[in-house]
Amino acid sequence: MAETFYLSLLAANLSALDDLADRWEGIHRDIKGLGKRMHDEVLSPLRDKGYWEGAAAPYAWKMIDDIERQLENAAKVADSARRVVEDAVSDLKSAQRELKDATRRAKEKGLYINANGTLARDVIDNVCKAELTDEDKKTIEAANHEIAEILKRGVIADRNLAYSLMADIGLGQWFNSDPQLRDIDSTARIGQDEYNALDLAMQGKDPYPGLSSDDPYSLGSDWVTGDGPRHREYYSGDEMTELIRSSDSMKQLRLDTLDQFRRTGQPEGSVAYSISESGKLGALKKLVTTDLPAIVTGDKDHLGEAFTGSYNLHYTVKGQEPDGSLVVEYKLHNNTSNESFLHYIGYYDWLEKTNREKGVFSSVDQEIVWTERIPAKGK
């Protein structure tokens, strides 16, 4: 099992970030001015003083000019990276120090802290109690809230550091000519499309995947006929992704995401949309009044959820801005199958036996991933 952020922050050796900032500073010091030297000592004599003439000369001058610009850009990136790391290490050290203090105080009261930093609701004075007094409950809740608030600050510093550095370095072949971030509190300058690209790159994936032409109708057709791959991935900009993002159900799920992170400080979690929240009659009513009309008319507010039915979204916090806006990656797994087609009658074990792996009416597995910025008020 992967180590939780709570345990990682408690044990982290943050002096490594001090060393990293020093290395960036050293790199900046060593390469600052090299671009000008390249111009003065190499390009200018060759081009301006006639030391190199002939058909190849203009091409050579251009290549040397490119090297000059790259050296200048590298110096800019090194300086920005140093500033970002120095800003982040201060916030992380503060969060770590306060987290250790809060953990010590909780343990002194005999409270039990789970691996993710949440507190057991029935342990105090090192005893598991069947019934707690109001004072006991207040003690546990206060400690839980304190640790959650510290974790939030640590998560935000950690994630903002990662994306600020990546944005400054850039994803292009050459050094970034305009690194704009000098601290970890300026991530509002990172656009949503850039966040999506950076997120994919940090997972070792193609930051700019080609757009898919799939839509719910073509997917439904492929399920019936058995055509096409049985596993498909969709990213920001794909029709399937945008239908989920724009669906009416996402309005509440964004609010749920904000609420969970603010309450728990956990960097990951799940939110869910259920068609049967009001029972089977409610699900049937939604089918008749909302989903079927959406499928017939192509209503983008409801077509995505009409296609998926009930769904769970896993979210991972990627950063937060000073105004409280939260940047999250959402991931949805959906399976178009005989079982899911019959979900309106309920979810029963026997329905799974109707699924097929090959041929007509065979299951099509989908993974939908995107990163977005949720305004602080959840609008």
Q: What pLDDT is stored for residue 14 in this prediction? A: 95
- Kindly give the pairing relationship between strand 268-273 and strand 311-320: antiparallel
| Paired residues of 336 in beta bridges | 364
221-226, long-range: CB within 8 Å, 24+ apart, which pairs? Answer: 222/364, 223/336, 223/337, 223/361, 223/362, 223/363, 223/364, 224/360, 224/361, 225/360, 226/358, 226/359, 226/360, 226/361, 226/362
Please write the tens of the pLDDT for every residue from 201-210.
Answer: 999 999 999 8
| Residue 374 clears pLDDT 60, i.e. is over it | yes
Q: Across the chain, what does the average pLDDT equal? A: 87
181 neighbors 187 (Cβ within 8 angstroms): yes
Binned at pLDDT 50, 70 and 90, residue 1 comes out as very low
Question: How far apart (Å, rounded) are the C-alpha atoms in residues 155 and 315?
Answer: 14
Binned at pLDDT 50, 70 and 90, residue 287 comes out as low
Higher-confidence residue: 211 or 160? 160
Higher-confidence residue: 278 or 90? 90
Count of beta carbons in the 10 Å neighbourhood of residue 122: 14
Q: What pLDDT is stored for residue 136 in this prediction? A: 94
Binned at pLDDT 50, 70 and 90, residue 304 comes out as confident
Q: What pLDDT is stored for residue 223 in this prediction? A: 82
Position of tokens 């190199």? 52
DSSP 248: T
Report helix, strand or coil for 11: helix
Among candidate residues 83, 85, 77, 99, the one with its CA nearest the CA of residue 16:
85
Report DSSP letters for 99-132, one per residue. Answer: HHHHHHHHHHTT--B-TTSPBPTTEETTEE-SS-
| Paired residues of 308 in beta bridges | none
The region of weakest confidence among 121-125, 177-181, 331-335, 339-343 is: 339-343
Question: How far apart (Å, rounded) are the C-alpha atoms in residues 76 and 177?
Answer: 8
Question: How far apart (Å, rounded) are the C-alpha atoms in residues 350 and 353?
Answer: 6
- Kindly give the pairing relationship between strand 326-336 and strand 364-374: antiparallel
Please write the tens of the pLDDT for every residue from 215-258.
Answer: 888 888 888 888 989 899 999 999 999 999 999 899 999 999 99
Query: Tell me, which fold does domain 5-190 have in CATH?
Result: Ferritin (1.20.1260)
Please write the tens of the pLDDT for every residue from 11-44.
Answer: 999 999 999 999 999 999 999 988 888 778 877 7
Please write the tens of the pLDDT for every residue from 181-220.
Answer: 999 999 999 999 999 999 999 999 999 998 898 988 888 8
Contacts of 254 (CB under 8 A, 6+ apart): 374, 378
| Residue 63 clears pLDDT 90, i.e. is over it | no
Question: How far apart (Å, rounded) are the C-alpha atoms in residues 351 and 354?
Answer: 6
Token pair belonging to 312: 């769970």
User: Domain limits of the chain?
Assistant: 5-190, 216-374
Q: How many separate helices (H) and strands (E) can be counted in the chain?
A: 14, 7
pTM of the shown model: 0.86
